[in-house]
Amino acid sequence: MIIKFLQSFEDPDKPFYGPNFWILTKTGLILPENKIAKALYILMHEIVAFFVFTQYMELYIIRSNLDLVLTNLRISMLSVVCVVKANTFVFWQEKWNKIIDYLTEADSVERYSNDPERKKIIDKYTNYSRRVTYTYWVLVFITLATTIGSPFIHFVSASYRESLRNGTELFPHILSSWMPIDKNHSPGIFITIVWHFTVTSYGALIMSSYDTSIMVIMVFFGGKLDVLRERCKQMLGTGEVELSDDEVAARVRELHNTHVLIMKHLRLFDSVLSPVMFVYVVMCSLMLCASAYQLTSATNAAQKLLMAEYLIFGIAQLFIFCWHSNDVLVKSENVMLGPYESRWWDANVRQRKSILLLAGQLRISKVFTAGPFTNLTLSTFITILKGAYSYFTLLRE
């Protein structure tokens, strides 16, 4: 039953990117052709952007209460990242479509190859992408449930319920935002709950679709570089059949063009990803700090558990981005080993010259960036954790 449900996300025209393309269209990140539907999706994105503005209006109102400020920042900083993701995806829609079209076309070229080694690589990164996508969706759903359920943990306490009845405590809403109505008394309480639930669910969907798409595209580029390396190993054949100079030149030319296209689309992908990752890296440092501080200052065991889950999600999210980005960097540096793993010693002088030219092209590597200041690698991940810990110790003192 579960397998049948997951298969419903597949797209025969996009055998690798099917589930990710499905959720991108459902969340409105890939806009439909219909003008009315397109306008409604854009309006929805901008309404949520306005909601983030109301979160910071509320932050100004509660600025004297440190615990409320940290609770607001913990969510509002993540909200900023979600809004940036949604709006940049819509604004750079043409670039994203080019990346997705290239991904689909390049995958189709290799997917139906009869070579067992290349097919093994393709199956491996396809299955891995599915696991990453579905696991991340589950993780986001758990975090959504945690975020929505966290305020209502207070109702477990009888003293809190009594304080709520006599007016000494305010109603614990899901999010901290300004409302033009009284959100602490009926009917404003119920309107605010529905509004916060809708916005939180929207944010979870945006995060699920955008983040998994980024991860899967990174996995694809890593797999594509592995396939290219394997093709370079086989470009002079297996030794059973001797290739002519023209055949070798044609293969080298094809491999050269393939690598040029990979590098071109890696740079295009980085151009739309880098600004978002810069905002994310800055916000993530502060978000992790606020979450860690609230985790250590919480007195209720249930609250500690919920805060720990939120903190783990933030760290896991950052780690996955940095891990896959670092993996692409390593594979783009290692792809140049492919020509040297071929039967180059059996080649004649003319063929060796072509191989050297190809090796020179393959030396070009690419690393994803987070703005103009840092690369998206595992060392950056460690640096961010150190920075978050520094902010945490400053707050504790």
The tokens of 139 are what?
A: 């993780």
- The residues near 126 (Cβ < 8 Å, ≥ 6 apart) are 15, 16
Check if the beta carbon of residue 179 is closer than 8 Å to that of residue 61: no
The SS3 of residue 113 is: coil
Q: How confident is the model at residue 15 (pLDDT cuts 50, 70, 90)?
A: confident
Section 117-125 average pLDDT: 89
Q: What is the pLDDT of residues 65-79, one digit of tens each?
A: 877 777 777 778 888
Region 137-141 average pLDDT: 88
What's the confidence (pLDDT) of residue 174? 80
Is the predicted pLDDT of residue 24 greater than 80, yes or no? yes
| pLDDT mean over 299-319 | 72
pLDDT confidence tier of residue 397, bands split at 50, 70 and 90? low
Q: Which pLDDT score is estimated for 96?
A: 95
**pTM for the whole structure:** 0.89
Q: Which of 202-206, 357-361, 385-389 has the lowest mean pLDDT?
A: 385-389
pLDDT over 70 (residue 1):
no
Highest average pLDDT, of 60-64, 101-105, 144-148, 244-248, comes from 101-105
The DSSP secondary structure of 345-393, one letter per residue, reads GGS-HHHHHHHHHHHHHHT-----EETTTEE-SHHHHHHHHHHHHHHHH
Q: Where are the domains of the chain?
A: 2-396
Q: Which helix (H) or strand (E) segment is 98 a member of?
A: helix 93-111
What pLDDT does 258 receive? 92
Burial label, 216 (beta-carbon count in 10 A; 0-12, 13-18, 19+)? buried
Residue with tokens 């440092």: 285
- 58, HSE (Cβ side, Cα atoms, 13 Å): 22
Residue 303: band (very low, low, confident or very high) from pLDDT cuts 50, 70, 90: low
**pLDDT (tens digit, 9 = 90+) per residue, 197-236?**
999 999 899 989 999 999 999 999 999 999 999 988 888 8
Kindly report, residue by residue over 236-245, the tens digit of the pLDDT.
876 666 777 7
| pLDDT interval class at 45 (50, 70, 90) | very high
Does the pLDDT value for residue 302 go beyond 80? no
**pLDDT tens digit sequence for 81-99:** 889 999 999 999 999 999 9
**How much is the pLDDT for 242?**
72
Please state, rounded to an integer, the average pLDDT across all residues of the chain.
Answer: 84
For the chain, the first-to-last Cα distance in angstroms comes to: 53
Residue 123 and residue 9: Cα distance in Å, rounded? 18
What tens digit of pLDDT does each residue of 152-181 get? 776 666 776 777 777 667 777 888 888 888
What pLDDT score was predicted for residue 260?
A: 93
Q: Is pLDDT of 359 > 70?
A: yes
pLDDT the model gives residue 130: 92
Task: Using pLDDT thresholds of 50, 70 and 90, give the confidence band for residue 273.
Answer: very high
Confidence of residue 148 (pLDDT cuts 50, 70, 90): confident
